[in-house]
Every structure is written in C-alpha cells, then in structure tokens.
Amino acid sequence: MSEEVARSEAPKQDELGHGQAMAEVDPTAAGATLRHLLKGGAGRNVGLVIALVLLCIVGVATAGDRFASTANVLTILRLAAVIGVVSIGMTFVITGGGIDLSVGAMVALASVWATTLATQQLAADYHWIFMVSTALLVGAACGLVNGVLVAYGKIVPFIATLAMLAGARGLAEILSDRKTQIISVNSFVDFFGGSLIGIPVLVWMFLLVAAAGWVLLNRTTFGRRTFAVGGNAEAARLAGIKVQRHTVALYILAGLCCGIAAVMLMARTTTGSATHGGLYELDAIAAVVIGGTLLSGGRGTIVGTVFGVLIFTTLNNVFTLNNLSISAQSVAKGLIIVIAVLLQQRLAARATAP
Amino acid sequence: MSVRSARLLIIVGLSSMALIACTSNTPEAEKTTDSGTQQVAAKGNDEPGKKVKIGFSAPAADHGWMGAITKATQAEAKKYSDVELVVAEGTNDVNLQISQVETFINQKVDAIVLLPFDGAALTPVAIKAMEAGITVVNVDREFGSTFAARTTVLGDNLGMGVSAGTYVCKEMKGKKDAVIAEIAGIDSLPLTQARSAGFKEALADCGLKVNNRVAAEFTVESGEKAAANLLQAAPKIDAIWNHDDDQGVGVMAAIKNSGRKEFFVVGGAGSANVMRDIKAGNTLLKATVIYPSTQGADGVRLARLLVQKKALGDLVEVEVPRTIQLYAPVVTKDNVDQYLPTAFES
Amino acid sequence: MTEYDVPAGGQDLLRMTGIVKEFPGVRALDGVDLDIRRGEVHCLLGQNGAGKSTLIRVLTGAHKPDAGTIQVNGQVVSLNTPADSMRLGIAAIYQELDLVPDLTVAENVFLGHEPARFGLTRRSEANTKARELLKGLGHGEIPPGRTVGLLSAAGQQVVSMARALSRQARLIVMDEPSAVLDSEEVDNLFRVIRDLTAQGVAVVYISHRLEEIREIGDRVTVLKDGATVATGLDARETPTAELIRLMTGRSIEYVFPPRAELAGDAPVVLEVENLSRPREFARIGFSVRAGEILGLAGLVGSGRSEVLETVYGARRAATGFVRVDGKVLAPGKVQQAVKAGVGLAPEERKSQALLLDEAVYKNITVSSMGRFASGGFLNSHAERQAAEELTKALDVRPAGVEHPVRNLSGGNQQKVVLARWLMRDCRVLLLDEPTRGVDVGARSEIYALVRKLAASGVAIVLVSSEVEEVLGLADRVVVMREGRAVHTGPAQDIDEHQVLDLVMEGSAV
C-alpha cells in the first residue's frame, strides 16, 4: 500500500517543486542578488563575518591599540592555529556524517609518542623530521582504528571515538608515566617556533592546512564523496561509492590533523604531555558547528570552521585584555554558540525557502 | 637527626617567608614576628609607588586550593592602590595559557605572576616574557629553566610530609607497634612523591613506618574510594595522614560510613572546613598540615616590590631573593585560630 | 455475515458519502461511498493507486477530506485529527506495525493512555488488563511483560489489535494484515477476526488475496481511480472475473510508446541464474538482451525489488549468478556492478538515490566523477556542462543544473536519477517503480524515455506494482508471487486480468 501513500504525497512535492521553480525563474532583481549572496559560500558565512567584526569592534573600543596591534593579532592567530588544525579535521568527519570525540586524546598521544627519549634521540642524531613523522603516524593510526571501528565494526561514531578518547589518553599516560616530556632537540623548536616573513611558522601551518582542506572538500572527488556519504549514505552506496572505505579515510584525515596539531603544540610548549589537548573535542565541535557545518552531516564549510575558531580565540583575547571574569567568558561562549546556530538556521531557511 | 638537618635547609625559606609576612597584616605573619617591626617595615614597602600592572594566570579552579589561590591573589592586589591586576581565564589547556602570557607580553604589563598548569610547557613563553623585560614570578610549579623567572615562590611538599610525620610521632608517644596509614594524592606527581618521602623520613625518626598506603586523585570521589579500600585492608589503625583536604571530604565520609573510631586523622593543604572541624574537636580530625594557598598573593607582592625596585623588609640584602619556599606548619586545636582566617574554602 | 449475529436495527456503524480528497495536481479520492455495518468484515479491493491508503488515512483522521460527509452511528462527524477518530472508536492496524519494539506488550497496548495514578504508571494493573485483552483475542499465551520485539509477526499483530481494543475500538481497519504472516498465522488471524465481529466490532479488511476475501469477508467494496465502482458485493458469491473487471477498467489511459522490433542478433547483456535469498525469493533466472525491456510484475513483498537489488549487488545473493556481458559479478559488491555498467534507479528515490540538498549536476555526476577528475581534482565546469546536456535531452524542469534536487518534482527527480546512469553509458538499467510519485503528465515522458533508452541498446529490467505499466512497457514479463517466478513470457501474450490473477491467486483464470 505504500505506493499509494507515496502517490498521495508526491503531488505535494510536485507543487512545491514547481512553486520553487517559479521563484527561481522570476524573482525581483534585488531578491535574486540577495538569494545568490546567501546561497553562495560567502553568504553562508555572513553571520560569522558580522560576529567576528563585532568582536573586533568591541576589542578595539575597549582595548584600543593593545587589541589592534600586530603582536596581538599574531597572538590570536597562534592560539587559533592549534585548535584550528584540529577543527579542520573535525569538519571533514562531521560533514561525512560522523563525529570524533577523541581528537584531544590523539593530540596528547601523538605529542607524547613524538617526544619519547627514543624518538628524540633519533631526531637529535638525524633530523627533527622523525619527531614530526612519528606524531603524524600516531595520529593517522588512531584515526585508522576509529574509522575501522565505525565503518566495519558498525559502532556508532560517538561510542567508537569515546573509547579512543579514553584509550589514547590512557596510553599517553602510560608512555609518559604522567610526566611532562621536555624536548631537547633545538632544531625542532627553532624551526617550528620561528617565523617566516614575519608570520609564525605555526600560523603558516594553520593557513596551509585550512587551504588544503578547502581544496580537498570543495574541489576534489574526495570532497564530493564526503558530502554524498554524509548527506545520504545509502544513496551514496547505491551510486557506487565505497562508503566504508571513505569513512575510514575521513577518520584517518582527522587523526592526521591531530598529529599536525600535536607537532604545533610541541613547538609551542617544547614539551609532550598526556595532558595536552584537554577538551579539544568540545572546542573543535563548537567551532565547526558555529561555522555552519551540519552536525548531522552532508553540509560542511572549511571557511566557516576557520571563522568559528577565530571567533572563539578572539573572544578569549578580548576578555583577557579587558580583565573580565573567568565565568563571564564561559557564559559569553555559550551565548555565542546559541546565537550563531540560530542565525545560521534563519539564514539557511531564507536561502532555501521559495 | 636527619630530619632536623633537612629542615635546616628550609630555614632560609622559612625566614624569608616570615619576612615577607612582615609587610602584611595577615594573621599568618603574626606568629613569627612581633608587631612592632611589622609596622615599620610595612610602612616603608606598602607606601604607594610607581603604578604596577601585573598579569596573573593559573590553571582552572577545579580544586578548592586552586580556587583559593586566585581569590587570595585578587584580594591581595586590591589592597594596593598602585597595583593593577589582570587575571586571565583559569585553564588546563597549555596552548591557551601560553597565549594568555603572550597577551600579557603584548599588553606590556610590568610583571607576570604565573602558576603554570605544566611548568615545563610554559617555560618557553616565560623566557620570552623575561626577554621582553617583564618580571616573571613563578608560583608553585617550577619552570624548567632558571631564565624563565626572576623569583619563584614554592610550597614545601617535602616539609608537609615531615611536619605530618613529626606530629604523628609526637602523638604516638613512643608506641612502637602503631599502625600508620597514608592516603596520598595523584601518585605520579612529583609533589606527591615529595610529600610521601618527607612523611616516611619523619616517621623513621621515631621508629615508625607507613603500614598501609593508598593513593587518591585530589577529588572527593577518589578520596572516598581510596579510604574505603584502606579501611577494608587495615582492621586496626592508629593514625592516618591524608595528603589533601579536598579529597579529605571523601575520606571522612568513608570513615563515617565505616563507623571506625580507633584512630585520628591528619589532613593536608589546610582547608577552612578541616580547620573548623579541628577547632570543634568532635571529629577524628586532629590536625592538618598547611600548604599555603596564598602563594599567588605573595607572588603579587613580590612582583610589586621587584618592579618598584624595593627590597624585602628586614632583609639586609637589597634584592628580592630568587627562591622563596613557604613553611608547612601543623595546625592543631591549640593554634587553629591563627590559621583559620587564611585557610581556603573548598 | 450470515453466520454472525448482527445486531438488529440495521443502522450503519459508519457511512461515508462522496468523499473527495485532492492533493495538489491529483485527485486521490474522487467520490468514495462506503458503509460499514456492525459486526461485519468489509473488504476493500482496488489496484495500487486506487485510493485505499488515502481512504484509510481519511478514516483515521490523518487526512481531512475536501468534500463529502462521514456519519458514525447516524451522526455527522468530522475527523480532523487522529484523536477524533480514536474517540469515536476507529482504529487501524497498519502493514508496518506501529509498535515500539523495546517496550513490553502491556506498555505497547496502553501506550499513550497508561493506567496511572498521580502520574505514576500502574504496572500491575496494566499487565492484568493487557492479559484480559489478549485472552479475549484468543491469545492468552502472550505474556504481557514480554518485549514486543521478541514476538513473531503474528504475535505483534495481536498486540496491535489489543491496543485497538484497549481504546474501545468499534471499527478496526486492517491494511494487508496477512502480508507478514504464514498460512497458520493467517488462520489464527481469521479466528481473532471472527471473535471480534461476534462481539459487534466491524472490520475493514484490505488484501490483494482473493482467497482470503472469500474466506473471511462479508461484503466487498471496489475502488478504482479514487472512486467507488461497486459496493455491497457479496464476498463469497461475486465471481473473480467480475471483481477483476471492476478493478481494472481504467478511465485514465497512459500513452505507451510503440515497441521497437528487437534485432534478431541483439546480444544477451544480463543473465541471472538460479538467484536465491532465504525468505525473500528463490531460484530466479532470466536474461535480458541489449535493447530489451524485461518487466517484473508482482505485489509488494513478492520479492521483485529484492531481486533487483540483489542483481545490483546491494544485497548479497545466497546462491546463483549474475553475469553482465558474460562476466560473473561478485555477489554483494555494488562497486563491481557499477563498473560492469549496471545502474539502479531504486524504489525509494529520496532515501536511496538522491542527495536532496545537493545541486542537480552533482547528483548526476556522482557515479561518474572519475570522468571529470584529474589527479582527484574535479573540473566542475565540465561537470556542469555534461549535466546540462543531459538535463536538456531529458527535458528536466526547471532547467539549470544548480538547483538543489529537493526542489524538483517527482518526475524530474526520476529523470535526474536516469541521467546519472546515462552519463555512465550503462549497459544494464534496473528500474524499480520508476513512476512512483510521478504525476500523470510526467509518466508518459518517463515511459518514452525508458523506451528510447532501450532503443539505444540498453538492457532494462523494470519493476512495477502497476500491471498496466509492466505490460505496456516491457517486451517480456516475469510474474512473481511470494518469492517465485510463476510465469515468464512475452508481454503481448498475457493481459492485465491474467497477471492480476497470477499475482493474487497463483493460477491463471
């Protein structure tokens, strides 16, 4: 009987479709421009740009030159860099219909593994590249485990990565004996702690990862498949996409980003520690979601994520500069998440409404 | 007499602490100096001088002691009209704490009082601050480099153990077969190891040893769990030293549940709750060993003196010392009134 | 009706007159008359699309009719919400049982009206009451505390009925209740129905199986194209030929394009041999030549869609082979089927085929991305251009490949799915209900398109619930009933009556 049901409901859809078609074909010029703007990548981020600009205005108004100085902007960017790279990886996983709660723990484990005495010895004897590749490998391997558990083990991502969160941090504690491991390889610290054309290497790394992430998501078959898998996994499977393999690749990508973030954190702190990356999963998810990526998958934006990260770090900076209370900042953070998501929904509704 | 000699080493710290205390009106100071010198010294150093802007950053206040650190620091700064304190959000994320210090550097503060979440991880940025001409005062958790701070204010973890052990020895009055138990904090932390070492050393001095030892994690929940296990393991106990009064809330709950009364408990860190219990005298808590929660406050004072180029009162030396280690006194019913006002609320 | 004691007075329990329900573009119900008496089993007959489901939805308050009156016990009522219907004692047992599998039997029975005091549910009271209800249904052996998911399909149906009775239902609509049951369970079901009617409860019984209607039914109403064509027929005495004639005589005629002559030397492209999946279908075999359309006819649940999905590799075959151009496909590997040139336009277009929020062109190129990529980088300009050509050729409206597919009508969405496989130049196209949710005007277009595709040398397998569609489009027909092929032959040699008969009774008239 379901045929009949579909039949009786389908005409509604038809009507909707035609109505939409009319609106598409014959809008007022202004409406068209607005709609085009809202539908375009820039449009989706209008709310974020407004939020960031407002924050900056507040920053300049309350802290003046202390906020607007080059040094302060670089401070914001350096802080944003580490969590930003994690968030880029998270954007892919969420767009692909998953979630990764283990990012912070993977950062910790990668930082610890890359700073063990053995790894450091190798780096001291040959090149710091050994430390970097250890961090990347550890991150990617954790991501592989996440991906296999989700795609082939059919464990819901929330649970699979929750297990990784506990497991990886525990392993990091065992490896480091809960001690902070100090990096004595100066070449490593010098390179990653330094600057290129006046901009810190860490910030360059963030820019590079963000740019690569944007290209990967928006300009490649990999990205297109990510949207397809996250939007409708069954349809993607029936269209001939290897959904399971792709899911694994997404989690590996997230793990790899955590490896990169671990290297950045190691450079920033000159240490590896099991306590690194605490609660990064929440910061990353918050940044990704206020950026406009759909938590249920199928829609994702790297630009939005970058804005999301910048909004949170700028907020932090403005509060610090103004000597405002710890608790007030948390309240503001919560408010921003709610307002940003509400705004996104309104804009999205306006963009798709006939 | 190895304990005595060990304590001698701390004398420098002890006396310097007392001398800082000279400049303050905190009750804590009153025990070591007579009020006359205190007033003179206070007048000299407390007089408003050049305006000092101090940045303060500490880990998240997820523990009563840590919350007290920030509160005491802010309260101390308010006493001085020439101090402007900038407090950053308490955080356990070293990445964020580093950026807070960077922000302080950008803001060109005069001094930074820093209680790092992880001393080693915050070392590079502290060095950067020193290189930028900012006076860094390191509190409680030590940096990995001597170039990272002008002065370091430390608690005395080994001393805590020694004080607790000495008190237990005194109370046991030569009872040779006394069963002593210890409930430690997070076992892998150097501070826990130091506390335990001191305790062991002091007990050995009077021929006692730790018969049962368990470790908790500085939280109420973990304290309850560890104590419950301990009470199961040891059918008869004479004395328990619990490293931390925050986890002690859980420890006392477990003891209450067990109905055991044959022993007494010595606390650690010195929370106001515990001190009130000691004062009331109606619980098994007979004493606690202080780990001062005023380290940040002392850091602010030292930073102010350093920036204003003043010396510590009552020291002949014209410079503020590099390291100041605070004393870990034992609080009992007899002297509890003296410490209660500066105790932290957990 | 003769065997059962119908309360005197003769007043109808329910009378519907001139019910009209319009959906934009389609008149789903166009003057339905129906009267139900107390204690009778009233059978509703009609082809797919005749309006049975819509009628049930009107009856249960899910749809509000646009015209017509409904009387219950002689009083004109309006059924605006499901709650209205429930209050008047009308309940429905749907094909897909609407039970919560993780709750207990008693919890399901009283879901929404739990016996409670001061907000606390009274578990023991619920259990006692549920046991009574179940006993009344002749199924006292079902424990009220058992989790519903653990019960058999038949047991779940009984729970569903107990739920209806717990709300004092006086009219129970059963939508194809026997579809999920084996023959023994069907006997049980009939016993329960007899008990119910003996208590004066009326049952509206919907089924495609004529033998069941003959056994349990009292009177029959036949619907066709949204209108009542005959009502009050005797369920036992009316000849089968008469019922089928009433069901099939259509007023809307679809235009089927003429069949092209199949070249004598057209090679066999798709071969299916001895394909089986336990409890779904067994020993299905057929072959399709280039340019040929093979139709699979059968009821929902006869296994036709499952066969199609197994050929495609979306389900793993237990036994048997699928060969494309002579090469065997590994079972359960969609990727390999796609590579070999097989495409599927699935039954549930929205949930199985389309990325609704993505642009038309992305939906078209999703299976042939490799063509537009070099080194993993997509040339989206080329993508748009190629998609544009196809949408023009298929006359997808609105024109333009940037619209999200969600905004297209059913027919145009189907064209997008077809375009996806056209872009791959596929060899075999599997079409599952290609005109579901497609309005009347667009159907003819889809038919012409399917024909044209076949003419270009594609081998096509078509599944449809509408017999007319299968016969009109296909060159050869396989009729399926309960997982088995009961007839295979050229489409010209069989007519709608014969197919319906095969499908419903298993033997040609």
Spell out the domains of chain B, with CATH numbers in brackets.
Answer: 2-155+294-326 (3.40.50.2300), 157-290 (3.40.50.2300)
Q: Output the six-digit token pair for A55.
A: 């924050």
Q: How far apart are CA B303 and CA B85, in angstroms?
A: 11
- Report d(CA C49, CA C443) in Å as an integer: 14
Specify whether the CB–CB gap between B182 and B234 falls below 8 A: no
Q: Which domains does chain A have, with CATH numbers?
A: 46-291+300-352 (1.10.3470)
Contact B139, B296 (CB under 8 A): yes
Contact status of A85 with chain B (Cβ, < 8 Å): no
Band (A28; pLDDT cuts 50, 70, 90): very low
Q: Measured between CB atoms, which of C50, C370, C377 is closest to A219?
A: C377
Touching subunits for chain A (3+ Cβ pairs under 8 A): B, C
- Return d(Cα B185, Cα B194) in angstroms, integer: 11
Q: Does B188 contact A178 at a Cβ distance shorter than 8 Å?
A: yes
Helices A201-219 and A186-193: crossing angle in degrees, nearest 10, is 70
> Is pLDDT at A178 greater than 90 in this prediction?
no
The Cα–Cα gap between A187 and C56 comes to 77
**Beta carbons within 10 angstroms of residue A242's beta carbon:** 17
- Give the number of residues written for chain A: 354
Interatomic CA distance for residues C342 and B341, integer angstroms: 82
**Is the peptide bond prior to C398 cis by the omega test (within 30 degrees of 0)?**
yes
Q: Which of residues 322-351 of C touch A (CB under 8 A)?
A: 334-335, 337-339, 344, 346, 351
Q: Which of C403, C433, C437 sits opposite A24 (nearest CB)?
A: C403
Q: A285-327: per-residue pLDDT in tens?
A: 999 988 888 888 888 999 999 999 999 899 888 887 887 766 7
Selected residue of B106, B109, B128 to mutate for chain A interface (largest A Cβ count, 10 A): B106
A277 in Cβ contact with A108 (< 8 Å) = yes
**With bands split at pLDDT 50, 70 and 90, how would you rate the model's confidence at A43?**
low
Return phi, psi of residue B154, to 5°. Answer: -125, 150
Chain C residue nearest residue A234, CA to CA: C352
Write the CB contacts of C112 (distance below 8 Å, at least 6 apart in sequence). none
Q: Which residue has the tokens 């953070």?
A: A333
* Contact between chains at A220 and C373 (C-beta distance less than 8 A): yes
Cβ–Cβ gap A273/B98 under 8 Å: no
Q: Looking at chain A from residue 276 to 335, which residues have their Cβ under 8 Å from any Cβ of chain C? A: 298-299
Average pLDDT, 10 consecutive residues per value, chain B (346 residues): 45 42 41 40 71 93 85 92 90 90 92 93 95 95 92 93 94 88 86 93 92 88 87 90 91 89 92 91 92 92 93 82 91 92 81
| Rounded Cα–Cα distance for residues C41 and C196 (Å) | 10
Cβ-based contacts of A287 with chain B (< 8 Å):
none
> How many CA atoms lie within 13 Å of B318's alpha carbon, on the beta-carbon side?
1
Q: How far apart are CA C85 and CA C97, in angstroms?
A: 18
- Whether residue C346 contacts residue C354, with contact meaning beta carbons closer than 8 Å, is answered with no
Distance CA B250, CA B256 (A): 10
Residue of A nearest to B102 (CA): A75
Residues 108-167 (C) with a CB less than 8 A from some CB of A:
none
Closest CA to C87 of C166, C11, C167: C167
pLDDT at A15 over 80: no
| DSSP-derived pairing of the beta strands A271-272 and A181-182 | antiparallel
Q: Do A179 and B118 touch (CB under 8 A)?
A: no
Contact status, residue B185 vs residue B195, Cβ threshold 8 Å: yes
Whole-angstrom distance, CA of residue A242 vs CA of residue C58:
43
A254-287 pLDDT per residue, tens: 999 999 999 999 998 888 988 898 889 999 999 9
Helix (H, G, I), strand (E, B) or coil at C35: strand
Tell me which chain A residues have a C-beta less than 8 angstroms from the C-beta of B61.
326
Q: What pLDDT is recorded for position B55?
A: 94
Residues, chain C: 509
Cβ distance of A79 and B95 shorter than 8 Å? yes
Determine, for residues A71 and B88 on separate chains, whether the beta-carbon distance falls below 8 Å.
no
Of B107, B117, B123, the CB nearest to A66: B107
- Separation between Cα atoms, residue C175 and residue B179, nearest integer Å: 78
The average confidence (pLDDT) of chain B is: 84
List the one residue out of A244, A341, A332, A234 whose CA is nearest residue A287: A341
Q: What span, in angstroms and rounded, lies between the C-alpha atoms of C500 and C248?
A: 9
Contact B267, B336 (CB under 8 A): no
* pLDDT grade for A336, boundaries at 50, 70 and 90: confident
3-state secondary structure of C269: strand
Reduce the DSSP state of residue C359 to 3 states and report it: strand
Side-chain-side CA neighbours of A69 within 13 Å: the count stands at: 17
What domains, with CATH codes, occur in chain C?
1-89+212-251 (3.40.50.300), 268-355+424-505 (3.40.50.300)
Shortest distance between the Cα of A25 and any Cα of chain C, in A, equals: 8
List chain C pLDDT tens, one digit each, 509 residues.
Answer: 333 344 444 568 899 999 998 876 667 888 899 999 999 999 998 876 678 888 888 988 888 899 999 999 888 998 888 888 888 889 888 766 678 888 889 888 888 777 666 666 677 888 888 898 888 877 888 888 888 888 887 788 888 888 888 888 899 999 888 776 777 778 888 888 998 899 889 999 988 777 888 889 999 999 888 888 888 888 888 887 788 778 776 545 566 887 777 777 889 999 999 999 988 899 999 999 999 999 999 877 788 889 999 999 999 999 999 999 999 999 889 999 999 999 999 988 888 899 988 999 999 999 988 889 888 899 989 999 999 999 998 888 888 898 888 888 888 899 999 999 989 888 999 999 888 777 666 778 889 889 988 988 999 999 988 888 898 899 999 999 888 999 999 988 888 888 888 887 654 43
Given CB atoms, is A8 within the 8 Å cutoff of chain C?
yes
CB proximity A18 to C under 8 Å: yes
Q: Looking at residue B278, what is its pLDDT?
A: 93
Residues of chain A in contact with residue B119, where contact means CB-CB under 8 angstroms, are 180
C51 in contact with A, Cβ within 8 Å:
yes
DSSP states of B258-303: HT--SSEEEEEE-BHHHHHHHHHT-SSEEEEEE--TTHHHHHHHHH
Q: Give one DSSP letter per residue of C444-491, joined into a string.
A: HHHHHHHHHHHHTT-EEEEEES-HHHHHHH-SEEEEEETTEEEEEEEG
Residues in chain A closer than 8 A to B189 (CB atoms): 178
State whether residue A278 sits within 8 Å of chain B by CB. Answer: yes
Contact between C194 and C111 (Cβ < 8 Å): no
DSSP letter (8 states) at residue C256: P
**CA quadruple B336, B338, B339, B341: dihedral, nearest 10:** 110
The per-residue pLDDT for A26 is 39
Q: With CB atoms and an 8 Å threshold, state whether C357 touches A231.
A: yes
Of residues A2, A7, A235, nearest to C355 (C-beta): A235
Q: What are phi and psi of A124, to 5 degrees?
A: -70, -35
Helix A280-290 / helix A302-321 crossing angle, nearest 10 deg: 120
ipTM: 0.77
Q: Mention every residue, 6+ apart, whose C-beta is less than 8 A from residue A239.
A: A228, C338, C353, C366, C367, C420
Give contacts of A241 with chain C, Cβ < 8 Å.
366
Contact C23 A8 (CB under 8 A): yes
Q: Which amino acid is at C280?
A: E
pLDDT of residue A145: 97
Q: Does residue C226 belong to the interface with chain A, where contact is any CB pair within 8 Å?
A: no
Contacts of A25 (CB under 8 A, 6+ apart): C398
From chain C, the residues in CB contact with A1 under 8 A are 48, 52-53, 95, 175-176, 206, 300
3 state SS for chain A: CHHHHHHHHHHHHHHHHHHHHHHHHCCCHHHHHHHHHHHCHHHHCHHHHHHHHHHHHHHHHHHCHHHHCHHHHHHHHHHHHHHHHHHHHHHHHHHCCCCCCCHHHHHHHHHHHCCCHHHHHHHHHCCCHHHHHHHHHHHHHHHHHHHHHHHCCCCCHHHHHHHHHHHHHHHHHHHHCCCCEECCCHHHHHHHHCEECCEEHHHHHHHHHHHHHHHHHHHEHHHHHHHHHHHCHHHHHHCCCCHHHHHHHHHHHHHHHHHHHHHHHHHHHCEECCCCCCCHHHHHHHHHHHCCCCCCCCCCCHHHHHHHHHHHHHHHHHHHHCCCCHHHHHHHHHHHHHHHHHHHHHHHHHHHCC
Query: How far is Cα A41 from Cα B219, in angstroms, rounded to an integer?
Result: 48
CA distance B87 to A271: 25
For helices B220-233 and B245-258, the axis angle rounded to 10 degrees is 40
**C-alpha distance from A222 to closest chain C C-alpha (Å):** 7
φ, ψ for residue C374, nearest 5 deg? -130, 125
Instruction: Report whether A263 contacts A140 (CB < 8 A).
Output: no
Residue A276 to residue A103: CA distance in whole angstroms: 11
Q: Are A239 and A228 in contact (CB under 8 A)?
A: yes
Whether residue A219 and residue C176 make contact (CB cut-off 8 A), yes or no, is no
Q: How far apart are CA B56 and CA B162, in angstroms?
A: 31
| A59-86 pLDDT, tens digit each | 899 888 888 888 889 989 998 999 999 9
Among the partner residues B96, B107, B144, nearest to A182 by beta-carbon distance? B144
Question: How many Å lie between the alpha carbon of A192 and the closest alpha carbon of chain B?
Answer: 13
What single DSSP character describes residue C89? T
| Cα atoms in the 13 Å half-sphere on the side-chain side of B6 | 19
pLDDT at C205: 92
Taking 60 as the threshold, does the pLDDT of residue A38 lie above it?
Answer: no
Among chain A residues, the shortest Cα distance to C379 is held by A219
Looking at the complex, report in whole angstroms how far the Cα of residue A71 sits from the nearest Cα belonging to chain B: 6
Average pLDDT, chain A: 84
The one-character DSSP state at C272 is E
Strand blocks (E) in C38-119: 41-45, 67-72, 75-77, 90-93, 116-117
CA A155, distance to chain mean position in Å, is 22
Work out whether the CA dihedral A31, A32, A33, A36 comes out positive or negative. Answer: positive
Q: Which of residues 1-40 of C touch A (CB under 8 A)?
A: 21, 23-26, 28
Instruction: List the one residue out of B126, B82, B83 whose CA is nearest residue B102.
Output: B126
